[in-house]
Amino acid sequence: MSIEQNYHYIKEEEYDKKLNLNKSSSLRYYSKKKIKKMYPRGGYIVVGGIGSGLINKQGQVDLGETKLDFYALHYSKYQYGIEGYIAVGENQYLAVIGKRRCRNLLIVFVAISIAALLVAGTMHLVKESDIETGAMDYTPPEQLNIVTDPNHIAIPGYKEILMNAGTDTAYVALWNPPNNPCYFKFTIVNLENEKVLYQSKLIMPGKAVTEIKFNQTIAEGKYPIEIKIDTFSLDDKEVSLNGGVSKAELIAVKSDN
């Protein structure tokens, strides 16, 4: 039997979105865009979610005059998506889940895309499968001094990854700067036992993976890790270029009850 957790809603001046709870009350929260600006390299923890499509109750969040149930983040990503986040602790948030719009249009688009891939042939499918489909357009909050020389590769550095203990998901921007002449492939290794915790597919320039799923749940604690970046030519994905390695720390913290 799981123990329910309780959190308090933290009112923030910079909330930029509003969720209508009923006809007389609403809840303000951060948009996804705002959170990315606040945490350009990740470092926040999502302890659960509120909204549509969630069924596994985890506890309640105290809104002041009332309380609201929150749930584990298990939902159909075809029907629902994250709209934003509400603060419930230091670097801790509940995701606001909403129903995706134009679902039928998405289904039609996916069907057309599959048909086009089938026409293109099996070889094309194999090549496209190398690309990280979970990567999205990403811009850091501050303009970085990136050399525009096409022969130069800008490698971002990482010091730590913060996540919720007892889960397998962390929110950190694994980013390939836009002017790079290559794909990035990230590999995260636990230096205590030399085991690979995560490996991305090829990430295109200007895009980032902002939600990574490790191949195991991470217990509370601090772990020395290595974030390795392999690079590959945009003209030929089989041609490797110069890469980089960051020594960092994976910090799994226990949620407040």
Of 26-40, 98-112, 210-224, the range with the lowest mean pLDDT is 98-112
Task: Give the Cα separation of 160 and 43 in Å (integer).
Answer: 8
pLDDT given for residue 110 in this prediction: 57
pLDDT at 87 over 90: yes
pLDDT given for residue 116 in this prediction: 57
- Selected residue with higher pLDDT from 163 and 153: 163
DSSP calls for the chain: -PPPEEEEPPP-TT--EEEE-SSS-EEEEEEHHHHHHH-TT--BEEEEEEETT---EEEEEE-SSSEEEEE-S---TTTEEEEEEEEEETTEEEEEEEEPS-HHHHHHHHHHHHHHHHHH-HHHHHHHTTB-TT-EE---SS-------TT--------EEEEETTEEEEB--EE--TT-SEEEEEEEEETTTTEEEEE--BB-TTEEE--EEEEEEE-SEEEEEEEEEEEEESS-TT-EEEEEEEEEEEEEEPPP-
What mean pLDDT is reported for the chain?
A: 82
Q: Where does the pLDDT of residue 148 fall: very low under 50, low under 70, confident under 90, or very high at 90 and above? A: very low
pLDDT given for residue 234 in this prediction: 87
- Selected residue with higher pLDDT from 107 and 137: 137
User: CA of 137: how far to CAs of 20, 79, 210, 253, in Å?
Assistant: 29, 22, 10, 29
Contacts of 257 (CB under 8 A, 6+ apart): 3, 5, 6
> Residue 240 pairs with which residues in a beta bridge?
232
Mean pLDDT of 152-158: 82
pLDDT given for residue 166 in this prediction: 93
Tens digit of each residue's pLDDT (9 = 90 or more) over 232-247: 888 888 877 878 888 9
- Selected residue with higher pLDDT from 223 and 43: 223
Decide: 27 and 19 in contact? Cβ < 8 Å: yes
Tens digit of each residue's pLDDT (9 = 90 or more) over 34-57: 988 888 877 888 888 998 888 888
Mean pLDDT of 63-89: 86
pLDDT given for residue 145 in this prediction: 45
Can you read off the two tokens belonging to residue 135? Answer: 């990567």
Of 115-119, 160-164, 180-184, 244-248, the range with the lowest mean pLDDT is 115-119
Rg (CA), the chain: 20
Task: Give the Cα separation of 171 and 46 in Å (integer).
Answer: 8
Task: Give the Cα separation of 115 and 154 in Å (integer).
Answer: 37
